[in-house]
């Protein structure tokens, strides 16, 4: 549940970079995603036809501030997105490094504070830094979106221990792994760790078969959530027999 809204799927899917509008439409349907993200800049270039694909999907639309490098730019983009899409939800991105696309933590917190005060329901794209997470919560965010790895890298969860610490530190805050996921197995791993959702784009959009890959990610996210709720067995240092010794046949000494 995000900002009081119950979402049927824990997969959140980006809409950029698909080979065609038809494939995008099929991929969204095959994924079973409950939320789709869209950049205001892309929407502005493709207009009503693209908006119709988003509307017809039946998914909750999460506009984002992709490409923004300052708090002011991100706030202005969010305000425009609210007018275009008619939603107070916004995925807040404020990029601080051109090569890694790592978010600028200072500008991110500043923009989050402004937007939350204006009634936005902010989904901040951040790193797994606990202090940044605390500041975002203090600013009014009720969701955190730590990256798995740099955007579009497909490296998966690069800092497993850091992400585990974040999950433990914010037990009651919805946490979404955003960026860096390249394979369904990586999404499943995030869900097994107890994260509430996974957001990805490139791994589906650039696949040889985006529709099939979208389906694979949808199933992986669902399986990971079920496994987490079922309770994963803890790892052991030594082997342990799965068949008990009690009840095994005893062979008499043949003398």
Binding-site residue positions: 152, 179-180, 201-202
Strand, helix or coil for residue 249: coil
92 - beta bridge partners?
124
Cα–Cα distance for residue pair 25/42, rounded to 1 Å: 16
Catalytic residue among 82, 91, 113, 167: 91
69, 78, 192, 206, 224 from 227: Cα distances, Å = 38, 36, 6, 28, 5
Measured in degrees and rounded to the nearest 5, phi and psi for residue 90 equal -150, 130
Start-end of H helices in 60-129? 71-85, 105-117
Cα–Cα distance for residue pair 7/14, rounded to 1 Å: 16
Supply the DSSP symbol for 242.
Answer: S
Q: What angle do CA 226, 201, 207 make, to 5 degrees?
A: 95
Q: Is 229 a catalytic residue?
A: no
Binding-site residues for 1-deoxy-D-xylulose 5-phosphate sit at: 152, 179-180, 201-202
Question: How, if at all, do strands 60-64 and 35-39 pair?
Answer: parallel
Residues taking part in catalysis: 91
């Amino acid at each position: 549940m995000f900002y009081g809204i119950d979402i049927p799927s824990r997969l959140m899917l980006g809409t950029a970079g698909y080979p065609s509008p038809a494939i995008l439409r099929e991929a969204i349907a095959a994924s079973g995603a409950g939320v789709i993200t869209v950049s205001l800049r892309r929407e502005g270039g493709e207009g009503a036809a693209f908006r119709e694909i988003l509307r017809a999907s039946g998914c909750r639309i999460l506009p984002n501030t992709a490409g923004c490098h300052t708090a002011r730019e991100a706030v202005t983009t969010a305000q425009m997105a609210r007018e275009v899409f008619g939603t107070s939800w916004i995925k807040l991105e404020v990029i601080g490094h051109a090569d890694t696309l790592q978010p600028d933590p200072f500008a991110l917190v500043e923009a989050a504070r402004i937007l939350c005060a204006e009634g936005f329901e902010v989904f901040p794209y951040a790193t797994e830094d606990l202090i940044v997470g605390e500041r975002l919560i203090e600013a009014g965010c009720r969701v955190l979106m730590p990256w798995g790895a740099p955007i579009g890298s497909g490296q998966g969860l690069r800092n497993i221990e850091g992400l585990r610490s974040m999950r433990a530190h914010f037990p009651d805050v919805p946490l979404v792994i955003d960026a860096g996921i390249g394979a369904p197995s990586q999404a499943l791993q995030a869900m097994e760790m107890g994260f509430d959702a996974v957001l990805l784009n490139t791994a589906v959009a650039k696949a040889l078969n985006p529709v099939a890959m979208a389906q694979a990610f949808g199933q992986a996210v669902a399986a990971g959530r079920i496994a987490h709720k079922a309770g994963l067995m803890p790892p052991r240092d030594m082997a342990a027999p799965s068949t008990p010794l009690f009840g095994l046949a005893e062979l008499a000494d043949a003398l």
